[in-house]
Amino acid sequence: MRSIIPVLTVVGAIFVVWYLAAVALNSTWAYDKAKRADQTLTFSQMVADTMEQDKPLLPAPHQVAKEIWKTTVLKKITSKRSLIWHGWITLSATMLGFLMGTGLGILLAVGIVHSRAMDMSVMPWVITSQTIPILAVAPMIIVVLNAVGISGLLPKAVISMYLSFFPVVVGMVKGLRSPDHMQLDLMRTWNASRSTVFWKLRLPSSMPFLFTSLKVAVAASLVGAIVGEMPTGAVAGLGARLLAGSYYGQTIQIWSALICAAALAATLVMIIGIIQKITLKRMGMAV
């Protein structure tokens, strides 16, 4: 628990910077309002105003906190204004996309490690896929899938998968190749088959790599799901909240959705971290 003081210091510093930035950015609007009402503001009046604007350029932390409280705890979960409802929609797409991405990533990695042809032919495409901006691809995926009658959860999950399979492929290729020559030679002296080498040596060796990749992948999945929600006409999900917020200049709504997304991502990464700890500990590879 010695780390608690530095952690709190950093959090405190972030809040200080945030409040200062809110004052600085929102002051123009406060002065403009006062000018139109033919008033002059003292410094403390100005600061008070920047803390309580309806559509501030940068909402102050307590405004965001209040909004989150209002849209989570005080709203029924089934309400369309509940962030939990929107968060759940995004989360379900994220999880489906994450599972699909992880599956695809592992399959590709197994193929790449075992077949030189696949290594040469697939790996360049895997890398190319990530150089294309997802914002450009996402609407096309939504539209194309819609045209063949697939809508709702799956198109968003596909975009999540598109972002999340990549770290899994890269990590698992590295992980499955991590056994050194000696360990592979040892397997050879026992006349072990390729599948035996895979199940008994390559796969267990790759576990630390897998979990590291999964952490990156789950965060990327969430980004994918949010991006996927943007071109759907802002119906539901954290992405929809972001989009609707930006249409109507509801900066507080945007920021509360952003903070929720960040908290969701952090929670997902933490859950994987816990599973990683338990798994590696049971495998005797505790770090």
Partner 1 sequence: MSDQTIISAKNLSLTFETNDGPVHALQDINLDIHKGEFVSFIGPSGCGKTTFLRVMADLEKPTGGSITVNGVSPEEARNSRAYGYVFQAAGLYPWRTIAGNISLPLEIMGYSKADQAARVKSVLELVELTGFEKKFPWQLSGGMQQRASIARALAFDADILLMDEPFGALDEIVRDHLNEQLLELWAKTHKTIGFVTHSIPEAVYLSTKIVVMSPRPGRIADVIESTLPSERPLSIRDSAEFIEIANRVRDGLREGHSNG
Interface positions with partner 1 (CB under 8 A): 182-183, 185-192, 196, 200-201, 204, 207, 283-285
* Total residues found in the chain within this entry: 287
By beta-carbon proximity to partner 1, the closer residue of 186 and 270 is 186
Triad 216, 114, 199: Cα angle to 5° = 75
By beta-carbon proximity to partner 1, the closer residue of 29 and 198 is 198
Residues 6+ apart with CB under 8 A from 90: 222, 225, 226, 229, 237, 238, 239, 261, 264
Taking only Cα atoms into account, the Rg of the chain, rounded to an integer number of angstroms, comes to 24
CB of 208: closest distance to partner 1 in angstroms?
10
By beta-carbon proximity to partner 1, the closer residue of 133 and 284 is 284
By beta-carbon proximity to partner 1, the closer residue of 206 and 256 is 206
The residue assigned the tokens 């490690």 is 113
CB of 202: closest distance to partner 1 in angstroms?
12
CB of 271: closest distance to partner 1 in angstroms?
22
By beta-carbon proximity to partner 1, the closer residue of 17 and 283 is 283
CB of 207: closest distance to partner 1 in angstroms?
8
**What one-letter code names the amino acid at 9?**
T
Strand ranges for 61-166 from DSSP E: none
By beta-carbon proximity to partner 1, the closer residue of 203 and 234 is 203
- The Cα–Cα gap between 34 and 189 comes to 85
Q: Is 17 left (phi over 0), alpha (psi -120 to 50) or beta?
A: alpha
- The Cα–Cα gap between 264 and 223 comes to 11
CB of 182: closest distance to partner 1 in angstroms?
5
CB of 159: closest distance to partner 1 in angstroms?
35
Three-class DSSP category at 7: helix
DSSP symbol at 58: S
